[in-house]
Amino acid sequence: MSESTVKARRAASTEPLVRLKSVGLRYRFPSDGESTLKGLFLDSLLRRRARPVDFWALRDVTLEFRRGEVVGIVGPNGSGKSSLLKVIAGVLEPTEGTVDTSGQMPPIIDPGSIVNPMLSGRQNARIYGALFRIPPSEIEGFLSRIEQFSELGAFFDAPVRIYSSGMVARLVFSIAVTFAPDILLVDEILSVGDEHFQKKSYFKMLKLIERGSLAVIVSHNTSFLEGLCDHVVLLHQGRVISRGKPAEVLRYYRSHFS
């Protein structure tokens, strides 16, 4: 199945699955204050507290994504791409604005934070089966498919605490795509594993898209995004500076930031 085949057979509906309105995300860091010896002495003498410094990872982001769409997110490092996905996933609460989502969405943005390291891969997958409301009579079939797709072998029944970071990412991605979510958020996850696993993951994602899942993809592979996406969003310093057809947005991105 080619990218062009998927795009030709896929028809986006008018139903929005993700709505962001005037979203801002602020990180607050403690300031070092004055670094001179005199400044440090006065801070200590007067017991002055360092004022916090605000960093806005996202600012005034208004976007709407619909069922059956494939949306690419690009931007230079530090532009807010991963923060945007984490806000959509509910991993981070926006400082301002609103985020509304509907449909099932597996939390694969930060793989290390969503699995219990004391449990095995199979046990973690079983928990997510319950979260996805898979009937008990069907769960073993799902677990078998997850085990096969992840290619973890005997490690599928070993505690996740002994996994490498790549193995954790493979487990979480395998869980996500097996449960066929309505919304799939992808943050360079296809770079996980060897070439064989990357290719298999890529085609699995194409099948989900063809079935009508919304896919929001962060990637530095602009050729991949141009061939697959319906439209692309360009972020810079936390703001949307361009959104539209992949060829147009990516041409601007390459000329200004590559």
Ordered by where they begin, the domains of the chain are 1-23+64-105+181-258 (3.40.50.300), 114-180 (no CATH)
Place of tokens 């609103």: 98
Place of tokens 């095995």: 120
Token couple for 196? 């064989």
- What is the model's pLDDT at position 50? 59
- What is the model's pLDDT at position 162? 96
pTM of the prediction? Answer: 0.79
Q: Which residues pair with 63 in a beta bridge?
A: 20
Q: How far apart are the first and last CA of the chain?
A: 30
Cβ count near 194 (within 10 Å): 9
Helix (H) or strand (E) holding 97: strand 96-101
109, 200, 251, 22 alpha-carbon torsion, rounded to 10°: -20
Q: Is 158 buried (19+), middle (13-18) or exposed (0-12) by CB count in 10 A?
A: middle
39, 41, 45, 47 alpha-carbon torsion, rounded to 10°: 50
AA letter at 71: V
- What is the model's pLDDT at position 5? 46
Q: Is 136 buried (19+), middle (13-18) or exposed (0-12) by CB count in 10 A?
A: exposed
Q: Is 196 buried (19+), middle (13-18) or exposed (0-12) by CB count in 10 A?
A: exposed
pLDDT digits (tens), the chain, 258 positions: 455 545 544 544 567 899 999 999 999 876 655 555 555 555 666 555 656 788 999 999 999 999 889 999 999 999 999 899 999 988 899 999 999 999 888 756 666 567 899 999 999 999 888 888 888 889 999 999 999 999 999 999 999 999 998 888 889 888 888 888 899 888 876 665 677 887 888 888 888 888 888 999 998 888 889 988 999 999 999 999 999 999 999 999 999 987
- What is the model's pLDDT at position 190? 60
Closest by alpha carbon to 65, among 107, 4, 7, 14?
A: 14
For helices 121-131 and 165-178, the axis angle rounded to 10 degrees is 30
Give dist(CA 129, CA 133) in Å, integer: 6
AA letter at 21: K
21, 97 Cβ separation under 8 angstroms = yes
Give dist(CA 178, CA 208) in Å, integer: 9
